[in-house]
Amino acid sequence: MKVDRRFKIGAHMPVSKGFYKVPYETKEIGGNSFQIFNHSPRTWKCSWPNDKEITKFKNSMRDCQINFDNAFVHSGYLVNLASPKDDVWEKSIRLLIEEIKTCELLGLKYLNIHPGSHLGEGEEYGLKRIITALNRVFKVVENSDVIILLENVSPKGGNIGYKFEHLGYIMSEFKGKVAITYDTCHGFDAGYDITTHLGMKKLIEEIEQTVRIENIKMIHLNDSKYPLASAKDRHENIGKGYIGINGFRNFLSFEEFQNIPLILETPGSNLEHAEDIRILQTEILNKI
């Protein structure tokens, strides 16, 4: 499928065949942006890419004309900067530092994280814990150009960051480089109704009062398997869920969001994502 240069579109891509494959596969599915894990997301350590792998990756980025500004890394699943368990918290800090260093090696500048879960200790505790952790990370990688993206999450399991107030608070207290990812499924889970004009007005107003629109560097474009405010965190393919084609048309008709990379984390892999991109292009972006 032809890549539409007006928009930045892509998906979460597998890295199993090597980092250098990602730009080529991104082009194959009709994208010009992507997100990856930079190590196995279920482990506590990074496997450093060697010089050869790094060169191959940078060459393929150039070959495929993918801008490093439109390439994102998602942190591993185990990281929990709000954890009340000291061992998990310490390991999370260490792993995040390794992930940042891996980003640097690959020339990638955005690392997306979930703020963390307080696991029952309360939101105030969780927020403080996250800020302490991030400031400790920043002390070690102070000179890094990598920007941490705080993702809004679903309001479940003691999660911090389901509302912009949380993200804004972390942004104001963290001394390092930080910006925001907006996930449409998680936002819908938390009651942000992007399917209506009024809902969008309220969303934009809340963003402006907290994190500011210009700090949103990535959209996780996911439909939702469950209705508004369900707090389920079940992503659905574009148009097949409760946000739906019309909901995404409404969301993307606001020009505030049109220049931000739209990254799919919908069910399936490259094949399904190619279909999601086709629907996004033909049914949504061409009709706004």
10, 262 contact by CB (below 8 A):
yes
Whichever of 60 and 266 has its CB closer to Mn ion, that residue is 266
233 binds, among Zn ion, Mn ion, none (CB under 5 to 8 A by kind): Mn ion
Burial annotation 82-113 (CB, 10 A radius, 16+ → b, else e): bbbeeebbebbbbbbbbbbbbbbbbebbbbbb
- To the nearest whole angstrom, how small is the minimum distance from the Cβ of residue 220 to Zn ion? 6
70, 138 contact by CB (below 8 A):
no
**CA 106 to centroid of chain Cα atoms:** 18
To which residue do tokens 């500011």 refer?
Answer: 212
Whichever of 106 and 180 has its CB closer to Mn ion, that residue is 180
Q: Which stretch binds Zn ion (CB under 5 A): 35-43, 49-57, 100-108, 144-152?
A: 144-152
39, 47 contact by CB (below 8 A):
yes
Q: Which stretch binds Zn ion (CB under 5 A): 81-89, 145-153, 230-238, 250-258?
A: 145-153
Whichever of 162 and 169 has its CB closer to Mn ion, that residue is 162
Element (H, E) at 253: none
The catalytic residues are 42, 74, 77, 114, 151, 183, 186, 220, 233, 235, 265
- To the nearest whole angstrom, how small is the minimum distance from the Cβ of residue 52 to Zn ion? 30
99 binds, among Zn ion, Mn ion, none (CB under 5 to 8 A by kind): none
Which stretches of the chain bind Mn ion, using CB under 5 A? 183, 220, 233, 265
- To the nearest whole angstrom, how small is the minimum distance from the Cβ of residue 116 to Mn ion? 14
Q: Which of 91, 90, 82 is nearest to 118 (CA)?
A: 82
Compose the 197-236 pattern: x for residues touching Zn ion by CB under 5 A, - for all others. ----------------------------------------
Q: Which of 281, 211, 217 is nearest to 249 (CA)?
A: 281
Q: Which stretch binds Zn ion (CB under 5 A): 2-10, 91-99, 147-155, 255-263?
A: 147-155
Going by the DSSP 8-state scheme, the letter that residue 248 receives in this structure is H
Whichever of 39 and 220 has its CB closer to Mn ion, that residue is 220
Q: What is the sign of the dihedral through the CA atoms of 240, 117, 220 and 21?
A: negative
Phi/psi class of residue 119: alpha, beta or left (left: φ > 0; alpha: ψ in -120 to 50)?
Answer: left
- To the nearest whole angstrom, how small is the minimum distance from the Cβ of residue 55 to Zn ion? 29
Whichever of 58 and 234 has its CB closer to Mn ion, that residue is 234
276 binds, among Zn ion, Mn ion, none (CB under 5 to 8 A by kind): none
Q: What is the sign of the dihedral through the CA atoms of 136, 140, 142 and 147?
A: negative
19, 106 contact by CB (below 8 A):
yes
Sites of contact with Zn ion (CB under 5 A): 151
